[in-house]
Structure 1
Amino acid sequence: MTRIIQTFAEISDQYDVAFVDLWGCMHNGLRAFPDAVAAMQGFRARGGKVVLVTNAPRARGPVAVQIDRLGIPDDAWDSIATSGDSARAAMFRGAVGEKVWFMGEAHDESFFEPLAIIDNPVPVRKVPLDEAEGIVCCGPFDPHADPDVNRPEFLYAKTKGMKLLCANPDIVVDRGESREWCAGALARLYTEMGGESLYFGKPHPPIYDLARRRYAALDGAVSDPRIIAIGDGIRTDILGAQGEDIDSLFITGGLAAAETKTTDQPDPAALDDLVAAEQVTPTYAIGFLR
Structure 2
Amino acid sequence: MTEHTTSRSAGEFTPGGPPSCPELISGLASIVDRYDVLLCDIWGVLHDGVAAHAGAGKALSSARESGRHVILVSNAPRPGSSVIAMLDGMGVPTSAHDGIVTSGDLTRAFLDERPGTKVVHIGPAHDRVLFDGLDIVMCDVEHADIVICTDLVDELTETPEDYREVLASIASRRLPLVCANPDIVVEHGDRLVWCAGSVARLYEEMGGEVIYFGKPHALIYAEAIRRAEAISGRAATKKRVLCIGDALHTDITGACAAGFDSLFIAGGIHAKELGAVNGAQPQLSALARLFPGAIRPSFVIEKLG
Q: TM-score range by the shorter chain?
A: over 0.9
Whole-Å Cα distance in 2 between the matches of residues 106 and 11 of structure 1?
A: 41
Whole-Å Cα distance in 1 between the matches of residues 228 and 193 of structure 2?
A: 31
SS at match of 1:259: helix
For these two proteins, the number of residue pairs brought into alignment is 280
- Are 1:265 and 1:288, in contact at CA under 8 Å, matched by a contact in 2? no
Matched, 1:17 2:32: no
| TM-superposition CA deviations, 1:58-84 (whole Å, max 9, x none) | 111101100011111111111001010
What's the C-alpha RMSD, in Å, of the aligned pairs? 1.4
Counterpart among 249, 274, 282 of residue 266 in structure 1: 282
SS at match of 1:38: helix
TM-superposed deviation, 1:7: 0.6
Matched, 1:212 2:225: yes
Q: Partner residue of 1:36?
A: 56
Q: Partner residue of 1:197?
A: 210
Matched, 1:113 2:125: no
Q: Partner residue of 1:238?
A: 252
Whichever residue aligns with residue 162 of structure 1, its letter is L
- Are 2:64 and 2:96, in contact at CA under 8 Å, matched by a contact in 1? yes
| TM-superposition CA deviations, 1:12-65 (whole Å, max 9, x none) | 000001000000001011121011111001101111111000000011110110
Whole-Å Cα distance in 1 between the matches of residues 123 and 248 of structure 2?
A: 25
Once the two structures are superposed, the pairs formed by residues 241-260 of structure 1 within 5 Å of their partners are 241-260=255-274
Matched, 1:287 2:302: yes
Q: TM-score, normalised by structure 1?
A: 0.93
Once the two structures are superposed, the pairs formed by residues 55-134 of structure 1 within 5 Å of their partners are 55-94=75-114, 98-114=117-133, 123-134=135-146
TM-superposed deviation, 1:107: 1.2
Whole-Å Cα distance in 2 between the matches of residues 93 and 260 of structure 1?
A: 43
Whole-Å Cα distance in 2 between the matches of residues 222 and 75 of structure 1?
A: 21
| TM-superposition CA deviations, 1:133-180 (whole Å, max 9, x none) | 210111111113111111111111111110000000001111101321
Q: Partner residue of 1:119?
A: none
Whichever residue aligns with residue 59 of structure 1, its letter is P
Q: Partner residue of 1:137?
A: 149
SS at match of 1:217: helix
TM-superposed deviation, 1:279: 4.9
Whichever residue aligns with residue 49 of structure 1, its letter is H
- Which sections of structure 2, spanning at least 5 residues, go unmatched? 1-12, 14-21
Whichever residue aligns with residue 304 of structure 2, its letter is L
- Are 1:136 and 1:167, in contact at CA under 8 Å, matched by a contact in 2? yes
| TM-superposition CA deviations, 1:231-280 (whole Å, max 9, x none) | 0001100000000000000001001101211143211111111111x752
Whole-Å Cα distance in 1 between the matches of residues 126 and 223 of structure 2?
A: 23
Whichever residue aligns with residue 187 of structure 2, its letter is D
Q: Partner residue of 2:19?
A: none
- Are 2:229 and 2:236, in contact at CA under 8 Å, matched by a contact in 1? no
Counterpart among 225, 228, 232 of residue 242 in structure 2: 228
Whole-Å Cα distance in 2 between the matches of residues 110 and 235 of structure 1?
A: 27
TM-superposed deviation, 1:222: 2.8
Whole-Å Cα distance in 2 between the matches of residues 160 and 184 of structure 1?
A: 21
TM-superposed deviation, 1:85: 0.4
- Are 2:45 and 2:304, in contact at CA under 8 Å, matched by a contact in 1? yes
Query: Residues 288 and 206 of structure 1: is their aligned pair in 2 closer, same or farther, counting only changes over 3 Å?
Result: same
TM-superposed deviation, 1:213: 1.6
Whichever residue aligns with residue 267 of structure 1, its letter is Q
Whole-Å Cα distance in 2 between the matches of residues 257 and 279 of structure 1?
A: 21
Whichever residue aligns with residue 148 of structure 2, its letter is V
Query: Residues 154 and 209 of structure 1: is their aligned pair in 2 closer, same or farther, counting only changes over 3 Å?
Result: same
Whole-Å Cα distance in 2 between the matches of residues 165 and 94 of structure 1?
A: 13
- Are 1:99 and 1:126, in contact at CA under 8 Å, matched by a contact in 2? yes
